[in-house]
Amino acid sequence: MRAQFDFKASSSWGVLRRTPQTPRSSRRSESVAPRRSFRWVVLCGSVSLWLIIGGLALGGCRQDMHDAPRYEAYEGSEFFGDGRSMRPQVAGTVARGQLREDSAMFAGKTGAAFVTGNPIPVTLQLVHRGRQRFDIFCAPCHARSGQGNGIVVRRGFRAPSSLHVDRLRAQPDGYFFDVITNGFGAMPDYAAQIPVADRWAIVAYIRALQLSQHAPAAGLSSRAQERIRAASMPQGAAAAGSGAAPPMPDGTAAAPPAGHQP
């Protein structure tokens, strides 16, 4: 078929190529003109035939790509014995970066219990990172202070509990990680937005935030204790100097400042 066409085409082109060699004025006999036009018809006809065949073939390709035989994720298959198109991992496959075997790190739990401490060593750098992330992701609702009256809540969203209540102070670190990872009641989860290490940084910062509002006085430096005592004394009492150490604001008896010890 192709050879036949080639022959026809070349013979037609042969005619065309020969054409200029014939002197323009001479021998324009009536018998030559019809034969030449017949060849033109054959040439044009075969070219357009091939264009049509080519067009159909290309159209077929296009349709093929529309109806490409592929599977959607989780689609069933009759090809495999287990009826699934998705194939299980080959035995002995080594996970790269997604094993998440460390449940303390990735779930905040050992077994069913929340981990009490942060699996990432708590450094000042981690707390700073946590503060930044908290202010971005949590403060809109929980407020930067953690009191629970963030701007979104003031615009009508359900108010969360303050982070400074005994119940939440007593919760282990893993609990906060879990709330960020899985959400809690009306609060959506932030697993997609906040990477694991940043979630732990936020947990470290929540601890610092809680401590900032509830530090045991005895754990403070003597200078800090002095300042608190001075600030909490009634006006004039500090100057009079009663001698006895006044109680600390949270009611615990303050240890005497180091400089004043006998």
180 in contact with ligand HEC (CB under 6 A): yes
114 in contact with ligand HEC (CB under 6 A): no
Short-list 103, 101, 117, CA closest to 176: 117
Residues whose CB falls within 8 Å of the CB of residue 259, separated by 6 or more in sequence, listed in order: 222
Residue owning tokens 């082109």: 13
Distance CA 242, CA 11 (A): 125
Sign, Cα dihedral of 236, 238, 241, 245: positive
184 in contact with ligand HEC (CB under 6 A): yes
Among 81, 88, 185, 241, binds ligand HEC (CB under 6 A): 185
User: At closest approach, how far in Å is the CB of 205 from ligand HEC?
Assistant: 9
Among 142, 174, 200, 209, binds ligand HEC (CB under 6 A): 142
191 in contact with ligand HEC (CB under 6 A): no
Q: Which residues of 106-117 are buried (b: 16+ CB within 10 A; e: fewer)?
A: ebbbeeeebbee
205 in contact with ligand HEC (CB under 6 A): no
107 in contact with ligand HEC (CB under 6 A): no
Short-list 184, 134, 187, CA closest to 157: 187
User: At closest approach, how far in Å is the CB of 170 from ligand HEC?
Assistant: 11
Question: Which is nearer to ligand HEC, 15 or 187 (by Cβ)?
Answer: 187
Residues that bind ligand HEC (CB under 6 A): 137-138, 140-142, 152, 157-158, 160-161, 176, 179-180, 184-187, 190, 194, 202
